[in-house]
Structure 1
Amino acid sequence: MCFNLADLFRINSSIQDITINAKHLFLNKYFWDAIHTSLHNPRRLYLARSSSEGSSEPVFWEVWRRFEEIEYTRRFDSCAEVYDAAVDGSVRLKSFKCDEKRYLSARTQGLWRWLRKCPNLTTLHWPYIRSDLEKFGMREFNKPVWPHLEDLSLEEMGRCDDEAARVFFGRLGPLTHLRMTRGFLGPHFFDLLRERHFDSLRTLCVENMSSITGEMVLGVLQHCAPLEVFETRRMSFLDLRANPGPWACLGLRRLRVALETDPADPEVDRMFFEQLSKLTNLKEFDTSRSPHDAWEGPQYPLLQLRLDRGLAQLSNLTRLWTVKIESTGQGLSSEDVEWMLEHWPLLTRLSGKLSSDTDIEERITDLPVEVLDIIGDYLDTGVNSFKPLILTSSKLYHHFSQRLWRHVTVHSHTPPDFFGILKDRTHFVHSIRFKGRVQTEYYLIHYPGLLVFEHDNTVRTIAKAKEVCRNSVNFFRLNPTIQDVIITPRDLSLNEGFWNAIFASLQNPRRLKLGKEDAVMKPVMEGGSGRAFWRVCGRFEQLHWGGLVPIGHVHEDVEPPVWPYLEDLRLGDVRGTDETMARVVFTHLPPSLKHLRVDSAIFGPESFGILRERVFDNLRTLSVRECTSFRSPMILEALQKCPRLEELDAYSITTTDLRGHPGTWACHGLTLLRVTFRSGRGEDEEFDDHDNNDGDDDHLLFKHISTLTHLEELDMTRYPEAYARNWFSPSRQTGPQLRLDSGLGQLLTLTRLKKAKFSGIVQNMRVVDVDWMLQSWPKLEELCGEFSQVASTEKELSALTSSRSPAPVALCAKPLPAASGTNSSSLHEEDYTIPFPALTSLSFGFLSWPTAFHGTVPPPDRNDYFASIIRLCPRIQNLTLTNAVHCPSVQLWETIFSTLENPRRLAVTRMDPTDNPSMQAFWKACSRFEELELIGFDILTTNELPATPFPRLKRLTHQLTPYFRHSIGQEGQLTWIMRCPNLTALEWRTSIARFPSRRLVEAIRQNTWPNLESFQLIGTKFKDDKSALILQHLPPLHVLRFPNRYLSELSFGRLQERHFASLSILDLNGCTLFTSEMVLSVLSGCPLLEDLSAPFLTASDLRQSEPARRAWVCLGLTRLKVYITRDREHPDADKLVFEQLSKLVKLEELDIGDDSLYDLNDDLVRDLGSRGALQLRLDSGLDCLAGMKSLYAVEFRGTVQTMRVQEIEWMLENWPELREVSGKLSKNSQTHAILKGIFEKRDICTFDR
């Protein structure tokens, strides 16, 4: 093995990190010599369990000197002279970690001396220090050592006395992290620690040090200000009484200390709670009693977390995640736990016995849980130590696990044991967020109701970026219900496979958001990845790209993106030219585009011309403030030709252009106008009461603004330094004057105006002008700017606005609710009285409400809020209710039913069953919609199903999971689905247990859904005869996903007769009886087919098939997933397969891997495996596929390929769009590595598995 590893190092000289974790592996001198002579820049060495036969050789130490980080957890069996061979130290070594706890004391002399010759150490984890101090004496520590050391961890200091420890630490620089497991620390050491290290310590863990007194613990809390993690034994109330000074470590995130109190003196508890209340950043609080305390000194009762003892003082610890009270003898009541859940919204772990009273413990399990979100995260203790956030109380665990885990975040450092916890709660998860390069297992989980996928944080190497993309591809395929994709990582080049997985897998994508970090870089835009990105954008309704948009790297021959569903487009810093931007971004913008926000200096005439022709008629929002090339005439033209414009945010309009474009403004529904008006007044001219030079300009401007009768915010603020446009920096004198003699009186029509801003424009208003505003604009809430250059006048006018009755006008900006389609519980009552007459989409998030509104008044029922805003927005078409726990009231459903004029789509997720009147009102509201999506909740038998049909409903996504004993089950679900006769698309995700197969077959036989075009029934099984009846009586389908393992010849005959002529998407993966001959019939009988997934296809069946079955008619096929076998007895059959595949010239993804074989029986899998997979070789006929110019992904995972260099070069030459190759290129590892390197040099992602 060592010789093989040595050869590996010699071939791969770029290796930096080496990890050896193998028992009974003897690392001899050849191993170390290969590292020493071959590797260019080794960085990290990790050794575990292996032995070191050559550690006495000089080359062993030469190798160690070349690494920056060394960590070993093994035992050196050599004698002490092994370490004495280390003569010279290492200037490269920065981190040394040793986990050898046994026998090290007898061998540390040479190793210790070697470490002392490593002056740049910043991290040292050392297991045992007793022998060093005793053997070497204090002279060894009389000079400074390791001046850069920041992180020191000592497992044991043995019986070193207090003075010896003080001398040792006195020679170290200020530490940031200090952990000491066992040893003796006395007052001399503590004094040194306070003098030398308290100003820098962020982590101090001394929980097993019996010599640490309560006085020392209190000294740490009062004087160590930077501390974030503190773990110790205990602190007594006697110490707190003696020294009640304030605690200084206000940034503390984790505190572990047993607080001993006096039950007879409630004042002691109050003092403890008062100090703890100042730790507002606290995330983990552990006041458990250590087992070692049982035999060490007298014991006092521990702090009780009860309201009657002062717990209410901790209401500001809103970041608290974990509370541990093990072995503390708590006597909590249900009111105490309710208070914790209400005031600590992030609480996810409550560990320990809550009460000694069994009855109280039982009652606590029945508490109503109002905690809505749980972050499936691991608590970072600040020293790379992470603990799982789970509930460990035996009573609360089951209760909480049924209610939480809706929003999950997984870190790159999340340990594997969290995987099982998360996997058991997948049906509760609605959104998931991956931070960094998380472990592969988390990408392989199926979440039935997942709606949002978010990935962020830094991925810095190409290998890690490719792994993230590969894992994300699998994740999208497992979770097709995802609607929102949010990507905000830095340095992550998202490859073609990533975008194509979104395009091919997600069923109803809605929003794509790319953060300000550059998620897509130059390589993405230059080739197939860019094409794939633009292609996937066409499926989204919203595209937000906040980072760098390098469209300048898009080739001229690349077809521009087509996005027929796009309604909201937001682009950040677009790089390139105006012509490129017009060609790439705006050429195929749909007329339905409603919102456009662009922050790019290249937005110019070319882009504006296309924008004017395509989207001006329907545009609602136009934000181009940072587009320096979007000049004044363009802004005026938008005002004149966008009749439906509601918000305009641009840079400036000049009065010269205003006079040159005298047309009327058509956007009479404008509610927000944010633009600077530059008058013709010279920069050096001052305005006074007799200055009428520009009065006509102001009159003209106010005349146009007066037509905007729906205007709510008028912002004329000057931004002379913002956005770095110094060449547009006009003086403070230029701009319209808000005076009656300048035409201000014409704005009498702006009765809805709430905000008027004129910062940066020095005004010369008078009392009569401000008084006119206050009287003429009754809804005015804010005036922002300087009224006058005269100080006395400014003060007088400010006082006038402040004294206005009944509500004063604000003179500075204040936060107000955003006029968007998303509603959360943080808004105030008055926010729900704002009408949005053009609002078409609204999403409600049922979040927790504060216990008091405006301090003292309890809030009204939230259903009243939502009903109020729906009444004000009757044009809403798309309505989403998220986390609707518990079911909204009858009033809200009746408001939805009676108010909305033309509702189209309703999505309801996670709604618990409730009383029958509410459910009846819910069904009544559903009858108004054309599209319905019900995910993740249950319906009880006590809730009567609607008796009337739903004639308007056309598309139904149905995924209700029975949770409760009295659930209506799948029988009741089918009863309701049968009352939707006009469905065109039905997706029903269900389960095998108690599925009403007979009733479903009978319903289809009776033509219950005559207009059905898409049928997806997932999660159940039918016998072949029942499947045949279903396929026979369904109308001709366009989309069929029917993974039924019993689907066989009878069903296939009905499929062929009834649906072959109309199918465009056919997914039969999981149909274990679907034969190769049937696949051939599909390929030769479905002319409109675009996407086919089937189990397998054999070359022998193709060879023996009739000529008619070789005439494949699905020439528009873009994706083919099927395992193809060889015919070893007739090698020409392989070429016949390639000849048939060559007809599919539009193919973009070819997957011949063995994934589809997993559901087949073992005998069949062995038979197919013995035949061997189709070989992608030129001598087998690969050159027949030269016409597949659109092919971007080839997958052959699980197959044994024997490719050569000539095959790889042929693919690169003939498949220009190829960007992803998945599978083992050759069974020979060295050949595979060489071929993989050829692909990677051309920026093509290769995945071995």
Structure 2
Amino acid sequence: MPRLNPLDLPHIRETIGRKLNGRHLLNALQVNSEWCQSLLPSVWSSINVHPPQDGDAYDQQPPPYNDIETLIRHQHLVKSIYQTDGFLMDHQHCLTFPNLERIRVYLDRLESFPTTLLLRHARLTHLDFQGRADRPGSFSWAPLMHLTHLKSMRLVHVVVDISEANHFWTIVSKLDQLELQSNHLFGTDPIIPIMLHHLVFPNMKTIVMLDSDSLPLETRLLWMSHCPNLIAFEWKPYPETRSAKRSVLRQLVRLLETRTWRVLQDLILEGLPATDEQIAAILQNIPRLRKLRLADVVFGAASFQALRSHFHCLEDLSISSDAEHCYEFETGPLLIDILASCPKLNSFMTGSLRGHDILMGPNRWACEQSLEYLGADIDILPGSMVEQQQHDIFERLSHLTRLKFLDISDGYGMNLGTLNLTLDKGLRYLASWTRLESIFFCGTLQSMTEAEIDWILQHWKSLKVFIGEPNRDCEYSRQLEEKLQRHGIIVDSDDIAGACSVL
């Protein structure tokens, strides 16, 4: 009896297809007709119905946006749509996607989008509406109340008039997740706080509020206080006044002290001028912290001590103190203590790590089997032992065998000393980084040669992104980058966003 090849099984090929994108998926389609048929669900799962523009990234693979017959034949496979023109409106009467779950709309005039079109797609779970910054758009919210499976929503440059307030809050009360960015919500109408006092949002698990919204800070905090099951929230209240932010910070601390959010695990704050004592109070009143990202705050000794109680469960940590306090704390041994003490830490981003602190700290880190993302400018202080320091630091970093992302860019421009990615300085220790996908070293002074590039291509087989100047000689650096490009590695930061899927 002939042996069965697992790759001949359609469900195996379908599983493979879900893991591929861009040119890798295109290559798999060309194996044979059986592979092509098995991978069709992956090809049509997410589509971009917009005219191709110059410079569209190769990793986007929309089916022909103007081939209506082809789209109709495969509309049962479509689960996610991104559109930036009137294609859906032009063909709305002949298009129905029975399995559509997500739709993202970016239009010059949002008010022209027929929300009644959504009613034919009862399985929708996520809506993403984005207008133009210079001309925010509005639309009728009443039809959206009939989308019973809707769980998440993202609004950017959207106007919600006070006349739509009841419809809007009714929809929001059913959601698990909401992201608001630069919207115009009701203005300062005094009826909104009164309305919120009588509402509760028991399903809301995640709130993201970015940039400026017309909704006052106090009203936004009032709304969040009526979300008792909140697990995660991200808040970047730009460009509110400093005094308003301080007032809201005090209210936020009081709400945490009264256990308003008993299951809160993820907290991202940026642009709120929190003191060391306020950050400590926030951390002391979160029962179990999984993710913490802070920017423009004072994170000092009190905050660090409060963070200690979360070391056993902390998975994602990013600390960027304000300019006045950043160097004092972020180059200290406390950050090394975090790496040495957090066994579940998956991502760690900070401004700077001092090579001396790495070497003077524990020989092994608790996060060695969990850390996948590391971002820190690693400073090497000048002296007679610089080369040995680099070898020892590389040897210490080599234990991070699960690392996928590394950013050692010089964020502060201090240039105290660069971790040099060359073989003679110890790069060969990092042969254990077989999972590394992205490396950034912008602003650092490198002296790589073709030998280093050959070594990287040989040992970092998973590498997709390589951003930074590999050599101080601009022409030679360009030649090294071209060699990496010939192996399909992105070397231009402008290409990164485009190479990612839009959905």
Report the AA paired with residue 396 of structure 2.
Answer: Q
Aligned-partner SS, 1:923:
helix
Change (3 A) 1:1087 1:873: same
Task: Write out aligned runs for 1:134-213 (5 A).
Answer: none
* Secondary structure of the corresponding residue to residue 1154 of structure 1: coil
Deviations 1:808-840 (A, max 9, x none): xxxxxxxxxxxx998969969x97899988665
Cα distance in 1 for residues equivalent to 2:471 and 2:181: 45
**1:876-895 equivalence runs, <5 A:** 876-883=124-131, 888=139, 892-893=141-142
Equivalent-residue separation in structure 1 for 2:46 and 2:128 (angstroms): 23
Once the 2 structures are TM-superposed, how far is the Cα of residue 596 of structure 1 from its aligned partner?
Answer: 9.1
Equivalent residue letter for 2:440: E
Q: Summarize the Cα distance change of 1:958–1:1194 in structure 2 as closer, same or farther, 3 Å threshold.
A: closer
2:252 pairs with 1:1000: yes
Conservation of the 8 A alpha-carbon contact between 1:913 and 1:940 = no
Contact 1:835-1:873 at 8 Å conserved across structures: yes
Are positions 1:929 and 2:172 aligned together?
A: no
Measured at CA, do residues 951 and 1181 of structure 1 come closer, stay the same or move farther in structure 2, by a change above 3 Å? same
Cα distance in 2 for partners of 1:901, 1:550 equals: 36
Cα 1:1248–1:954 shift into 2, 3 Å: closer
Change in Cα spacing, 1:960 to 1:974, as seen in structure 2 (3 Å) is farther
* Aligned match of 1:1021: 273
CA contact (8 A) 1:1202 1:1226 kept: yes
Alignment of 1:741-752 (within 5 A): none
| Structure 1 counterpart of 2:345, one-letter code | L
Count of aligned positions: 435
- Provide the residue aligned with 2:350 in structure 1: 1094
CA contact (8 A) 2:159 2:183 kept: yes
- Provide the C-alpha distance between the structure 2 equivalents of 1:907 and 1:1248, rounded to a whole number of angstroms: 26
The within-5 A match list for 1:232-251 is none
* Equivalence for 1:1126: 380
Deviation string, structure 1 residues 859-878 (Cα, Å, up to 9, x no partner): xx989x74x66666655433
Structure 1 counterpart of 2:367, from 1093, 1113, 1117: 1113
Q: Distance in 2 between matches of 1:551 and 1:880?
A: 31
- Aligned partners of 1:960, 1:1228: CA distance in 2, in Å? 40
- Separation in 2, partners of 1:1228, 1:1137: 26
Question: How far does residue 1137 in structure 1 lie from its aligned partner after superposition?
Answer: 0.9
Q: In the aligned structure 1, how far is the partner of 2:321 from the partner of 2:17? A: 27
Structure 2: how far apart are the matches of 1:1221 and 1:841? 32
- 1:549-588 matches, within 5 Å, as 550-551=26-27, 574-578=29-33, 585=39
Uncovered stretches (5+) of structure 2, i.e. residues with no partner = 1-14, 48-66, 495-503
Verify: 1:1151 aligned to 2:399, yes or no.
no
Q: Compute the displacement of 1:1035 (Å).
A: 3.6
What SS is found at the alignment partner of 1:1050?
helix
For the structure 1 residues 972 and 832, does the alpha-carbon distance in structure 2 shift closer, same or farther, using more than 3 Å as the test? farther
Find the aligned partners of 2:286 and 2:454 in 1 and give their Cα distance.
Answer: 48
CA contact (8 A) 2:72 2:95 kept: no
CA deviation string 1:365-398 (max 9, x = no partner)? xxxxxxxxxxxxxxxxxxxxxxxxxxxxxxxxxx
How far apart are the structure 1 equivalents of 2:147 and 2:46? 26
Q: Give the Å deviation of 1:905.
A: 2.0
Quickly say closer, same or farther: Cα 1:882–1:1234, change in 2 above 3 A: closer
Matched residue type, 2:336? L
What SS is found at the alignment partner of 2:178?
A: strand
Counterpart of 2:395 in structure 1 is 1139
Identity %: 22
- Using a 3 Å threshold, how does the CA distance of structure 1 residues 1147 and 920 change in structure 2: closer, same or farther? same
CA distance, structure 2, for counterparts of residue 953 and residue 1066 of structure 1? 23
Return closer, same or farther for 1:1241/1:1092 CA change in 2, 3 Å cut-off: same
Partner of 2:456: 1211
**Aligned partners of 2:254, 2:409: CA distance in 1, in Å?**
38
- 1:1011 aligned partner, one-letter code: V
How far did residue 997 of structure 1 move?
1.0
For residue 1027 of structure 1, report the CA deviation from its aligned partner: 1.0
Q: Which amino acid aligns with 1:930?
A: D
Matched letter for residue 576 of structure 1: V
Contact 2:182-2:211 within 8 A present in 1 as well: yes
Unpaired segments ≥5 residues, structure 1: 1-533, 553-573, 598-622, 627-645, 651-669, 671-819, 850-860, 1159-1164
CA distance in 2, matches of 1:1248, 1:941: 40
Deviation at 1:882, TM superposition (A): 4.6
Q: Judge conservation of contact 1:1088–1:1114 (CA < 8 Å) in 2.
A: no
1:536–1:1050 distance in 2 versus 1, CA, 3 Å? farther
Conserved 8 A contact 1:920-1:944: no
Distance in 2 between the 1:886 and 1:1227 partners?
Answer: 48
Match of 1:944 in 2: 192
In structure 2, the residue corresponding to 1:1011 is in which secondary structure?
Answer: coil
1:1013-1072 Cα offsets, whole Å, 9 max, x none, are 3222223221111011112222423332211341122112222322x2233332224562
**Closer, same or farther: CA 1125–580 of 1 in aligned 2, 3 Å:** farther
Distance, in Å, in 1 between the alignment partners of 2:430 and 2:250 is 47
- Do the aligned partners of residues 1201 and 999 (structure 1) sit closer, same or farther apart at CA in structure 2, a change above 3 Å counting? same
Q: Which residue is equivalent to 1:91?
A: none
- How far, CA to CA, are the matches of 1:1139 and 1:833 in structure 2? 62
After the TM superposition, which residues 62-101 of structure 1 pair with which residues of structure 2 at under 5 Å, given as runs? none
- Equivalent AA in structure 1 for residue 428 of structure 2: D
Amino acid at match of 1:1147: L
State yes or no: 1:1039 paired with 2:287: no
Q: Bigger radius of gyration, 1 or 2?
A: 1
Question: Whole-Å Cα distance in 1 between the matches of residues 443 and 468 of structure 2?
Answer: 7
Post-superposition offset of 1:1194: 3.3
Aligned to 1:982: 229
SS at match of 1:1122: strand
Whether the 8 Å CA contact 2:176–2:204 is kept in 1: the answer is: yes
1:1229-1244 aligned within 5 A: none
For 1:821 and 1:1174, the matched residues in 2 are separated by: 42
> TM-score when scaled to structure 1?
0.31
CA contact (8 A) 1:954 1:984 kept: yes
CA–CA separation in structure 2 for the residues paired with 1:1141 and 1:551: 36
From 407, 424, 430, the equivalent of 1:1185 is 430
Kept in 2, the 8 Å contact 1:1090–1:1117? The answer is: yes
**Partner Cα separation in structure 2 for residue 1144 and residue 1175 of structure 1:** 18
Distance 2:407 2:159 in 1: 42
Q: SS where residue 1114 of structure 1 aligns?
A: coil
Rounded Cα–Cα distance in structure 1 between residues aligned with 2:149 and 2:453: 56
One of 123, 134, 159 as aligned partner of 1:912 = 159
Q: CA 1:950/1:594 → structure 2, altered by over 3 Å: closer, same or farther?
A: farther
- Cα distance, 1:1100–1:821 mapped onto 2, change above 3 Å: closer
> Which position in structure 2 is the counterpart of 1:956?
207
Question: RMSD in angstroms over aligned alpha carbons?
Answer: 4.5
Q: Residue 1143 and residue 834 in structure 1: after superposition, are their counterparts in 2 closer, same or farther (change >3 A)?
A: closer
Inter-CA distance 973–575: structure 2 relative to 1 (3 Å threshold): same
Shift of 1:1207: 3.9
Indicate the SS of the match to 2:296. coil
Q: Is the 8 A contact 2:394 2:426 kept in 1?
A: yes
Say if 1:1224 and 1:1232, in contact at 8 Å, map to a contact too: yes
Distance 1:1223 1:929, change over 3 A: closer
- 8 Å Cα contact 1:1090-1:1114 kept in structure 2: no
Q: Deviations over 1:1071-1106 (max 9, x none)?
A: 623334132122212222222211111221123224
1075-1084 or 1225-1234, which deviates more: 1225-1234
CA offsets 1:695-750 (integer angstroms, 9 cap, x no match): xxxxxxxxxxxxxxxxxxxxxxxxxxxxxxxxxxxxxxxxxxxxxxxxxxxxxxxx
Contact 2:298 2:321 in 1 (8 A): no
